[in-house]
Each structure stands twice: as structure tokens, then as C-alpha cells.
Amino acid sequence: MDVTILKSRLAEISQITDAEWIATLDERKRAELEFHDRDRDRHKVEELKQHDQDTYERFYGNKKYYTATQESKDYVDNWIAKHAPGKVFLDYACGNGVGAIKAAKAGAALSIGIDISSVSVNNARADAAAAGVAHNTQFVQADAENTKLPDSSVDYVLCSGMLHHLDLSFAFPELRRILAPGGKILAVEALDYNPFIKLYRKITPAMRTEWEAAHILSHKDLRFAKRFFDLGDVKYWHITSIAGPHVRPLMPFLSLLDRGLTKIPLIRLMAWIFTFELKSTKT
């Protein structure tokens, strides 16, 4: 799709007023909006971290475990670097726009980020400017289940840790609609099988919305995705390395161990994270 036309459409979306925007959201989406506005308010998060460690731990204590995810992050970064150059790239429910900024740095013709949270969008715009990629990035507040983007307008999509926030019966058809022929999606999601991780989610309810907690993805969702896309590579990440933040000297060994464990069919279901690629069926 012509990038100039797409930029014009994005400009139209960005003109939707707050009142109009809020009026389109149901109760579930408003709860997600409120949660992510709080979660992405950098000033308030830093304030809690510095002055109220107990509250910070209740809301954000799981962040320390993401230090153990370097191998899956490298895989995602390589996927972006391979596919973004010269293409229209979408960071779908982009948060602070990390994926979109990486795609822009890799040479995307246009790297788009959409998110339900205006706080996230403003963070992403500021970070893109600081990274020197404001010229080929566009960030807008939008509903991921009804993006208002044109049909077949994006070549590659990153869904990083956000599909479980959505109703997939709306999100997958919307992704199929906006994905160009030959396009691909990479999804990065928590996996809903490990009983210890499920228990951790249950005892830390403040860290996620009620909808999110009830919709962690499993193979059932992969089967549903195949109604809309061709399924590509599925990979599994982080079984023992989740313990890394507590035993940092052992991280290299745990990562090496995981490379073997995640190849064993039943054991790999205990992974914390899985990635899967979805391919357009359009011709």
C-alpha cells in the first residue's frame, strides 16, 4: 500500500477525540485502558519504586523475571531485522513502542504502533524521537480489535505479549483484514500450561486485569488461529531459566538446559513463553 495514503489515514485516526474514543469502548476495554494507563505512567512507577517498595512489588514484582528472557528477545529482534526493511510494519498493541522503534531502526518504510493507552502512545512517540526515528514511525491510540486501518495495509505485524488482552474472535479477523498478501505475524505470548506459573498468576492478581488472567493462550488458540491464517514456526522458551533472577550465576547453564528441554514435546509445554508465526492466506 502507498505509504503516503496510509499516513493520511493514520492522521485521521489520530484526530478522534477522547470523548469519541471512550464512547466506543465497552466495559472490558475501559478496564484495559485504565490498567495500561497506570502501568505505563513512568513517573508514577518510578515514584513507587523509590518510595513505596511494597506497592511497587504488588503491581510490578513480575518485571524481574523478564531479565531471564534474553533468548526469546533475541529471536524476536532477529525476526524484526529480517522482515522490517522497506516494509510497512505494525507493532500491534505496541505499549511503549519498543518493537516499532526497532523496526524503524531496521529500515521499515513505515513503522506503526497502535495502543489502547494514550500514555503508552505518548511514551512511544517520545522514545521514537529520542531514537532518531520519528520520520518513519507513526503512533496512534486505537482499538486493536477495530484498528480503522485500511484493508491489506501492513506487511508484517508484531504481537508482543498482548493477544491475551484481546478477544481473539475479533482480533484474528481484524489482523487478517489488515495483513497484506504474503504478510506475516509474529506473536509472543505466555503459555497456559505450567501449574507453577498459573499459581503465581493466581496469587498476584494486581499485576494483570481480570480478562488478561483468564485468557492466557494455549494450543487451543493456535487451532483457532488456523481458521484465519496459515500457522508457521512455533517455538517454546524459558522453563528453568525463569529462576534466573534468583540464581543469576546459573543463568547461562539454565538457558543452555532450556534449549534442550524445549525440544521435548511434552516437557516444552511447561515453557513460560511461546512464539508462533501466522501467515496471510491472501493471494
In 3D, which of 96, 245, 235 has the Cα closest to residue 162? 96
pLDDT single digits (tens) 214-261: 999 999 999 999 999 999 999 999 999 999 999 999 999 999 999 999
Query: Which CATH architecture group holds 3-279?
Result: 3-Layer(aba) Sandwich (3.40)
pLDDT over 80 (residue 1):
no
Whole-model pTM?
0.96
What are the residue ranges spanned by the domains of the chain? 3-279
Q: Rounding to the nearest 10 degrees, give the CA dihedral for residues 229, 159, 136, 108.
A: -50
For 59-103, what is each residue's pLDDT tens digit?
999 999 999 999 999 999 999 999 999 999 999 999 999 999 999
Q: Which residues contact 48 (CB under 8 A, 6 or more apart)?
A: 55, 56, 59, 60
What pLDDT does 19 receive?
A: 83
CB 171 within 8 A of CB 259: no
CB-based contacts of 79: which residues, under 8 Å, 6+ apart? Answer: 158, 186
Task: Name the average pLDDT for the chain.
Answer: 96
